Amino acid sequence: MTDQQDYIVITTDVATAARPTTTVTRTKAKPAAATPPGKTTIAALTDKGGVGKSTITRATIEVTRHHLTVPGSYRVLGMDGDSENGQLVAFLGDRDADGHLLPEQNPLTGIDYFDARSPRDRGVLLDMAEREEELLAFDLPGGSLSDFAELNENLRPRDLVDVHRENGRRFVVLLPISPLLASISSVLTAIAMFGPDADYLVVMNVSAGRTEDFVLWHEGITDRHGRHIGGKARAALEAAGGRVLLMPALAPGIYARIDAVGLAFTEALSSPLLPLSQRLSCRRWLHDWTEQLDTIADLLALPTGYSWTI
């Protein structure tokens, strides 16, 4: 969707010919350098479920909404692409006095939702490009990356990137990975789909394995037939200028208890439903995540002078 007009370069050679010759070259005009956007859209995607996508998105929304101090405003809009049954809605949605989810959600305090698997509903991803909030966070259904090969019958993923950029927003494709090849391969798929104008953020979920277990992400291995497997996705990410974060591990027993009693992570920090040791563990986990987010402050459009309160 970026409008790049053709222009013509005409050169005349008078030094090497009896009659001057003219060469006409048609090329593409280079777009003017853009001011770095002060707004960001993050779309969490994967072609494989169970790699921590919703946990990563949920934790990011919670700390930027509730534990970020900035000079001025920093608004975070959250949307769940798994309709009203998504994890973001379940844990972060607006509720009434009796604890029931409100049918109408304010996406700045709760979580709005849509069906990202429906070509008709996916249009909201383009419509939201005109929003003015500093951060838009979309949690899209596990295994839905292939659905985005076509947004609808007219538009493709690169159109989605273009419209956000044209409205002064970075478009960040967030790709959680586990040590398994199927999740790592999603990185190659996404880069091919969304193209060079998107920003790419791979998050290695160390709850699924220690950093040294991500061998297929790093150097790869040789199979019994002598074929090399792995390493290509990391190389493609580096060529695209992408970034890598580590999602720290929260002890599974603590995570299970937080989920079982229906707490948001920030609620767990002071909830009497958890013993002090578990509340402190959750605090340390979120603190470690904010340290990772510090390395992508530009991608999050965090203003100069921000700080965390956790």
Beta strand extents in 2-71 (DSSP E only): 6-13, 21-28, 39-44, 68-69
Asked if 250 and 62 touch (Cβ cutoff 8 Å), the reply is: no
Rama region for 99: left / alpha / beta (φ>0; ψ in -120 to 50; rest): left
Torsion of CA 128, 130, 132, 136, to 10 degrees: 30
> What is the number of other CB atoms lying within 10 angstroms of the CB of residue 55?
23
Phi/psi of residue 146, nearest 5 degrees: -65, -25
Q: What length does the chain have?
A: 310
Of 195, 199, 158, which is closest to residue 41 (Cα–Cα)?
199
> What is the number of other CB atoms lying within 10 angstroms of the CB of residue 148?
23
Question: What's the pLDDT at 31?
Answer: 40
Question: What's the pLDDT at 6?
Answer: 40
Tokens of 260: 């079982």
Q: Which parts of the chain register pLDDT below 50?
A: 1-35
Q: How far apart are CA 138 and CA 131, in angstroms?
A: 13
Q: How far apart are CA 98 and CA 114, in angstroms?
A: 24
